[in-house]
Structure 1
Amino acid sequence: MKNTVVKICGLQDVEVLKSMLNLPVDYIGFVFANSRRQVTAEDANILLEQLQDWQHETRPESVGVFVNPDIDFLSKVMEQAPLDVIQLHGQEDAVFCEEVKRKFGVKVFKAISVHSKGTENGSELMEPHVIANDYIGVIDALLLDTFDPIYGGGSGQTFAWEQIPHYQNWSKEHGVPLFVAGGLEPNNVSELIAKYHPYGVDVSSGVESNGLKDIEKIKAFTERVKQI
Structure 2
Amino acid sequence: MRLHQFTRVKAMIQMVQLQTHAADIADFIKNQTTLSPVLIGHSFGGLVVQYYLANLEKDSSGNLAGAVLICSVPPTGNSGLVWRYLFTKPVAAFKVTMSLALKAFRTSLPLCKETFFSQEMDDNLVLRYQELMTESSRLPLFDLKKLNVSLPVASVPNPSTRVLVMGAADDFIVDAKGLEETASFYGVQPVCVEGVAHDMMLDSSWEKGAQVILSWLQNLDIKF
Q: Calculate the TM-score normalised by the size of structure 2.
A: 0.31
The answer to which structure has the higher helix fraction is: 2
TM-score (norm: length of structure 1): 0.31
Larger radius of gyration: 2
Instruction: For CA contacts below 8 A with separation 6 or more, give which structure has more relative contact order.
Output: 2
Q: Counting strand residues as a fraction of each chain, which structure ranks higher?
A: 1
